[in-house]
A and B are shown apart, each in its own frame.
Chain A
Amino acid sequence: MLEIKGLSFAYENDRPVLKGVDMALEDGQVGILLGRNGAGKSTLLKIITGVLKPSGGSVLFNGQDLLAMTRRERAALVAYVPQQIDFGDLTVYQTVLTGRVSYYSIKPSKSDLDVVGRVIAEMDLSDVSCRNVQELSGGERQKVAIARALAQEPKVLVFDEPTGNLDIANELLIIKEAKKIACSKNITVFSSIHDLNQAMYFGDKFFFMKDGSIKYTGNSEVFSPEIIRDVYGVEASLVGDRGEKYINYYKELRND
């Protein structure tokens, strides 16, 4: 279980970004972090992955304090897939191999190479493994980023806006892959997403952030026009279609 207790953070002392964030996510669950730009979503994700250090609070995985771990120990538990990815001039194989950096010093062992080969096959990247990542499409590049994260053999996979720069075909592809990983490997997935409809399809548990803390938590039932109005300041309505809910937040535009 991933637990966050009383987490606080400030880039500058007088301007706190996180003010006592509390949340919990079961193993294998897909947690979605929602909220407006500047609500503190990326900051929270960066603290979980060790990129930023909080000013207070704790991040626990099955009772172990992630913040007290060494970088290597944390890399074996938590992996990160950022929104903007620049891979440099490497092949797919070389890029995925960087996910094993914390497991070896100068030369990867046979087991490291086995893991990389397996992950590349699982992510259906075998055909492009020798190609330069820069030559791939946006969706394939995102899959390479996920493959690198999986090569860490993590228990928690953190995504920051995984589909932010993708077309809808690649968007669906990445969401499908991420859900498959969570189910088949029992990996806890924690992701920030802007599109509420995408979030409802992708997630099991939802966390709405406002003013530096988690204001609403729950399963898909938590989505309501009132909460959306409170968090985003937007009028929305829930519409049903073939038994599934969709959120329509373009109503205001039509009424203009």
Chain B
Amino acid sequence: MLLAVLGMAFVCLFVGSSHMSFSECIQALLNRSTAANNRIIWKIRMPRVIAAIIAGAGLSVSGLIMQTNLNNSMASPSTLGVSNAAVFGANLSIIAFAGGFLDTGSHLANFDVGANPYSTSLMAFVFSVVSILLILFLCGTRSFSPNVVVLAGIAIGSVWTAATTILQFYATDVGLSAAVVWNFGDLGRATYRTDLIMLVTVGVGLVFFLFMSRRFDALLSGDAVAVSVGVNVKALRFVSMLLASMITAVCVSFLGIIGFVGIICPHIVKKFFGQEHFWSISASALCGSLLLLVADTLSRSMGSGSALPVGAITSMLGAPFFIAIIFSKGRRR
């Protein structure tokens, strides 16, 4: 799987609307091509490939951890309304405060032109964190019971969605279209700086989740058994949900909504490798990276000049495969 991710990363690096040949890409990778080609590879494609690897891994692992914590196979980063809160924050920035993020990052001409590309991301992130903390605070009063967390997430998520709808109702045509474009999700917004921020967040989360992997295994048998074998269930659930939500918040804030990765990838991995978390966390991370790399490559090859929304591609690509996996009778081991 690691080889597949690396292989796909190279494919993703070599595919794009500029129609560079393979040898030109290699030359550009070695910084020996024309200035334009070098710039395309190192300033545009490389950050988005790195973003696909990091965000894919982060969103996928967040989904897996939420499914274990909430004992709900349909749980995903959107279960807690994190994505909905991010959308509201971004829409507020774009529509109400003219966030200056009208370029989607997909067009060479608009690259690096945004007035303040971090303001929308910052707003999205702030609202995501506020939403996470609100839900976890509310659920703390009920010992983080999985059902309460899911229901609180759905309820608060729908409040953000309603607020976004009201915001969009009052938006100008330009503001509305800019907000909708942000919602699509686009890896082209990634820069080395945003990649670094995502890497630190996803890295911290992955290390923590791997360190706690045996405790997550115990949690599969229910809270009572997990407590009896020595797991601090309440603290584990709070910290891991917070980290999983933060990973989602950071990725969504920088890249927009990239749906379904958090549901599809963990299920595929569980089907083939079982649920032992040390391996399923690692495999989910690689599976998420792979899916997002494939989706991004396709989105850039199919868009005739401009990239299609990568979130739509992940769903269209993953959903049929996901359904086939769910209905297949093959055993995982």
Residues of A bordering B, CB below 8 Å = 46, 49-51, 71-72, 74-76, 78-80, 82, 84-91, 94-95, 97-99, 101-102, 104-106, 108, 130, 132, 148-149, 152, 158
Residue of A nearest to B220 (CB): A88
Chain B 298-333 interface residues, beta-carbon cutoff 8 Å to A: 331-333
Q: Chain B residues near A158 (CB, 8 Å)?
A: 228
Whether B211 and A106, one on each chain, are in contact in the complex, defined by CB atoms closer than 8 angstroms, is yes
Given contacts A71-B232, A91-B274, A101-B229, contact A85 B220 (CB under 8 A): no
Are B210 and A46 touching (Cβ within 8 A)? no
A78 touches B221 (CB 8 A): no
Selected A-B contacts with CB under 8 Å, 26 pairs = A50-B227, A51-B223, A72-B230, A75-B230, A79-B229, A80-B224, A80-B228, A82-B222, A82-B224, A85-B222, A86-B221, A87-B220, A89-B270, A89-B275, A90-B274, A95-B217, A98-B221, A98-B229, A101-B215, A101-B230, A102-B229, A102-B230, A106-B214, A132-B332, A148-B221, A158-B228
A74 to B230, CA, bound (A): 7
Q: With an 8 A cutoff between CB atoms, is B15 at the interface?
A: no
Check B222–A99 contact: CB distance below 8 A: no
Q: Which residues of the other chain, B, contact A72 by a CB distance below 8 angstroms?
A: 230
Could you say which of A89, A106, A152 contacts B213, with CB atoms under 8 Å apart? A106
Contact pick for B228, options A79, A91, A95, CB 8 Å: A79
Q: Return chain B residues, CB-CB under 8 Å to A94.
A: 217, 274, 276
Complex Cα spacing A17 to B277, Å: 37
The answer for the CA separation of A130 and B333 in the assembled complex, in Å, is 9
Q: Are A86 and B222 in contact (CB under 8 A)?
A: yes
- The answer to whether the Cβ of B218 comes within 8 Å of any Cβ in the partner chain is yes
Q: A71-B231, A90-B276 are in contact. Are A85 and B225 (CB under 8 A)?
A: yes
> Which residue of the partner chain B has the closest CB to A85?
B221
Q: How far is the CB of B65 from chain A (nearest CB, A)?
A: 14
Cβ 8 A contact of B224, one of A49, A75, A88, A132? A49
Question: How many whole Å from B207's CB to the nearest CB in chain A?
Answer: 10
Give the shortest distance, in Å, between B67 (CB) and chain A (any CB): 10
Q: How far is the CA of A158 from the CA of B227 in the complex (A)?
A: 13
User: With the chains together, A23 CA to B222 CA distance in Å?
Assistant: 28
Interface string of B60-73 (1 = CB under 8 A from A): 00000000100100
The docked-state distance in angstroms from the alpha carbon of A101 to that of B220 is: 13
- Give bound CA distance, A97 to B228, whole Å: 14
Contacts of A108 in B (CB 8 A): 214
- Please tell me which one of the listed residues B213, B221, B229 contacts residue A75 in the complex, with CB atoms under 8 A apart: B229
B225 cross-chain contacts in A, Cβ below 8 A: 80, 82, 85, 148
B274's partner among A82, A86, A105, A132 (CB-CB below 8 A) is A132
Closest to A144 in B: B221
B268 to chain A, nearest CB (A): 13
The smallest beta-carbon distance between A116 and chain B, in angstroms, is 12
From residue B43, how far is it (CB to closest CB) to chain A in Å?
Answer: 39
